[in-house]
Amino acid sequence: MTLYKNAALKKFALIVAAGSGSRMGGDLPKQFLLVNGKAVLWYTLHTFLHAYEDMQVILVLHEQYLEAGKTIVQSLDAEDRVVITTGGETRFHSVKNGLQFVQQPSIVFVHDAVRFLVSERLIHACYEEAVKHGNAVPSVRPVDSLRMEMDDGNKMLDRNKVHLIQTPQTFSSDLIWKAFQQEYHASFTDEATVVESTGVKINLIEGETNNMKITRPADLQLAEQIIKGLDGSEQS
């Protein structure tokens, strides 16, 4: 494994937005739903583009929504910093499609487009830890009690030993390039599992409770209130 020590390393944010968002209901994927007048995807792109001046974005979309994605990128005046490509059959294939645009030693952030409350602070923390350790995966501790189903019933889990994984999952380019040369396996639920399967130890860092994945309508309503609160604090 190559650990990068150069603080000026190139940065790529691979934003995965190729899903259909069926659990939200309706025909429009959740990354294109409006929150306070702007698409969910707009917020995600805006945060990554402002996190670092040299950040390049690789936006992975379903082919049906390429034009919608281009319109959002144009509204950010970011055409020169965003490349758009199509997704694949699974998340693994979508990320692999995006990685073809990473052609130099760099730090690669892979982020769910619908985690649109991600902060610049967390992006910076992921970058700094990935430079030191080769990878950085944000997580938070559960607050609820946990039980796991067993063949003969269920049992309690120690929540102090459980982590809820978030994105951006962040890697040195050599690690993620190598990992995604593998054949797809059903156990690959995120980039960390793909990289871990090559023998790399995953470095967990502290995530953020606001960095939630928008899945259901109630999540969107909560996110709207959070954004209004953030806007109010910035204006005060």
Q: Is the pLDDT of residue 7 over 60?
A: no
Give the model's confidence band at 232: pLDDT under 50 very low, under 70 low, under 90 confident, else very high.
Answer: low
List residues bridging with 41 in a β-sheet.
none
* Percent of the chain clearing pLDDT 70 (strictly above): 92
73 within some domain = yes
Coil vs helix vs strand at 132: helix
Residue 114: predicted pLDDT: 97
5 within some domain = no
| pTM for this model (two decimals) | 0.92
Instruction: Report the candidate in 2, 3, 23 with the shortest Cα–Cα distance to residue 114.
Output: 23
Give me 214's structure tokens. 């928008």
128 within some domain = yes
Q: Is the pLDDT of residue 236 over 70?
A: no
CATH of the domain at 54: 3.90.550.10
2 within some domain = no
95 within some domain = yes
22 within some domain = yes
3 within some domain = no
Q: Is the pLDDT of residue 5 over 70?
A: no
4 within some domain = no
| Residue 56, domain extent | 10-235
Tell me: cis bond preceding 168? Omega within 30 of 0 counts: yes
The arithmetic mean of pLDDT across residues 120-130, rounded, is 98
Phi, psi of 31 (to 5 degrees): -70, -15
Q: Is the pLDDT of residue 153 over 90?
A: yes
The arithmetic mean of pLDDT across residues 69-74, rounded, is 98
Residue 20: predicted pLDDT: 63
Instruction: Report the candidate in 165, 166, 144 with the shortest Cα–Cα distance to residue 156.
Output: 144
pLDDT, one tens digit per residue, over 13-48 is 999 998 765 555 567 999 999 998 999 999 999 999
Cβ-contact 86, 69 below 8 angstroms = no
Mean pLDDT of the chain: 92
Number of domains making up the chain: 1
